[in-house]
Amino acid sequence: MKNMQEMKKLMTDKNINWNRIKKMKIFFMITAFLLLGFMHGNAQDLSKDVLEKYQYGNSLEKYNVIKSYLNTFNKNENILIKQSLELIDYFKKQNDYTGVDCGNVFLAFRAYDKHNYTTALNIALPTFSSFKTRSDTVGILMITRVIDYSYYATKNYAEAVKYMKELIPIYIAQKNKQGLNFIYNEIGSVYGQAFQPDSGLIFAQQSLNLAYELNNNNLITSSLATIAENYIAKGDYDLAMPFLKKATKQYKITFAKNDSLIIYTWFNNDYAQAYLAMKEYDSAIYYAHRSLEFSIKSNDIVQQLRTYEYLYKSFDKIGKQDSSNKYYRLAGTIKDSLLGSEKVKSIEAATFSALLRQQEIDSENIKNENERKQNIQFVLIVLGIIIFIVVFILLSHSVIVTEKWISFFGILGLLIVFEFINLLIHPFIEQASHHSPLLMLIALVAIALLLIPIHHRLEKWIKEKMTEKNKNIRLENAKKTIEKLEGKTNN
């Protein structure tokens, strides 16, 4: 009777222990799923401080954080491009397309600064489309500057104006009259450069109207000058002069004389250009000399070239050949200098393109190498699991291990298999949930709950079938051993 009670107590204790083990395993499996998920989801390649600053704000603020971070690598162009591409790749993995686009804005501006307008446009145009698809007006405002600057620099005025006009409805919707004034004036100026003054005058006049409405003397000056330049481009010098004089007067009222040498240089060259066209050569020479004074001080060789051309043409018209030859030679020197400068810009542009391309190749090679290593690891894991299962089956059919070890290794094998399944499906969960912590949590819990019944059945099979079979094998082996011993004793 006492033995029966002890047996019942032992069986009860054993069932309690199995229930505890089962609950602990279920808890461990769910916890492991969630921890693995968050370990993958929260992997951060950037410093915590940078990411915290990046998280909040609009596209412009995010761009400024990225720009500030990347500019820390400014001393080495190669490293800077490498870090830029790595940052863009990081945001791609996070499905953060605002981050990707802001990284591309930085690269596009960098290419523009290196006079590589083709590369700048190749980066900027798809980024513009991406911002536009998401109706990210802040992003559109940023990237459009790179596009229209690059088109303007390559004298593709039609495309420059096309993208400038994209900003008009944005500024209207924002009720940003100052931004609207700026873009109208820019469009008017580009049309003047493209010798389409009729179109330029329309936008320049709209710019002037807004400048008066805003009562901003600086904007009024710029708008008046743009109108004057369009009339000069049109050949209506009598109409151009009043606007040019008014712009000059307005500028003198608003600013100190030496506030901006560039503006004075430009204004005086406009006067020289107009007087030369009107055959008032003495006036043309007077304003050209004034422009030369300011352009030399500001080292503005582009305006110096304009000045020298107006001077040698004016002196030639009044028969002063020596002076004409002098300024003709100076104009030639400036052209040579500009040509040399263009060659330097071309070298810088080519260098930037080569570095960018090399970094893209290196990044692709690293990515392929990482994928290859990952695939090898997956193959090794699968082989390891297969070997583990084979060894487990062999051991379960032997007397080397007890049923306790069979149960332990069986449960361990199940956990390894289920965690491997989680490892395989995790990238798909990340992609489907767009890295949303809440969606990833729901998906991981759902998968864990689906796998728990399977785990339970397999565990029961291990407990009842495999351990029972191992127990029977051990009993059979024990009987054979006893029979052998008894046979020896009888002999």
The reported pLDDT for the residue numbered 5 is 47
Within 8 A by CB and 6+ apart from 40, the residues are 426, 430
How far apart, in whole angstroms, are the C-alpha atoms of residue 145 and residue 163?
A: 9
- Compute, in degrees rounded to 10, the torsion defined by CA atoms 229, 233, 237, 241: 0
CB atoms within 10 A of CB 178: 12
The reported pLDDT for the residue numbered 459 is 62
The reported pLDDT for the residue numbered 84 is 87
How far apart, in whole angstroms, are the C-alpha atoms of residue 187 and residue 176?
A: 17
Amino acid identity of residue 291, one-letter, is S
Rounded to 5°, angle at Cα 471 from 467 and 477: 145
How far apart, in whole angstroms, are the C-alpha atoms of residue 99 and residue 130?
A: 12
458 belongs to a structural domain: yes
Low pLDDT (below 70) residues in the chain: 1-49, 254-261, 336-366, 391-411, 414, 418, 430-437, 444, 448-491
- The residue segments making up the domain with residue 424 are 24-56+397-486
The backbone region for 236, taken as left when phi is positive above 0, alpha when psi lies in -120 to 50, beta otherwise, is beta
CB 200 within 8 A of CB 191: yes
CB atoms within 10 A of CB 487: 9
The number of C-alpha atoms within 13 Å of 152 and in the hemisphere containing its C-beta is: 20
18 belongs to a structural domain: no
The reported pLDDT for the residue numbered 301 is 80
The reported pLDDT for the residue numbered 350 is 59
pLDDT, one tens digit per residue, over 269-325 is 888 989 999 999 999 999 999 888 888 887 788 788 888 898 989 999 998 998 888
418 belongs to a structural domain: yes
| Count: domains in the chain | 1
402 belongs to a structural domain: yes
Q: Given the structure tokens 């990707």, which residue do they identify?
A: 100
CB 180 within 8 A of CB 168: yes
The reported pLDDT for the residue numbered 204 is 95
The reported pLDDT for the residue numbered 373 is 77
pLDDT, one tens digit per residue, over 141-159 is 999 999 999 888 888 899 9
The reported pLDDT for the residue numbered 12 is 45
Q: Given the structure tokens 């379960």, which residue do they identify?
A: 396
Q: Which of 228, 226, 225, 244 is nearest to 236 (CA)?
A: 228
Helix boundaries (H) for 114-236:
117-133, 137-153, 157-165, 168-174, 177-193, 197-214, 217-234
The reported pLDDT for the residue numbered 296 is 83
138 belongs to a structural domain: no
169 belongs to a structural domain: no
**Which tokens in the block code for residue 143?**
């990237």
Q: Residue 267 phi/psi, 5° resolution?
A: -60, -45
The reported pLDDT for the residue numbered 6 is 44
CB 232 within 8 A of CB 270: yes
How far apart, in whole angstroms, are the C-alpha atoms of residue 387 and residue 225?
A: 83
The reported pLDDT for the residue numbered 228 is 93
Q: Residue 115 phi/psi, 5° resolution?
A: 65, 20
Q: Which of 320, 310, 313 is nearest to 290 (CA)?
A: 310
246 belongs to a structural domain: no
69 belongs to a structural domain: no
CA 156 centroid distance within chain = 26
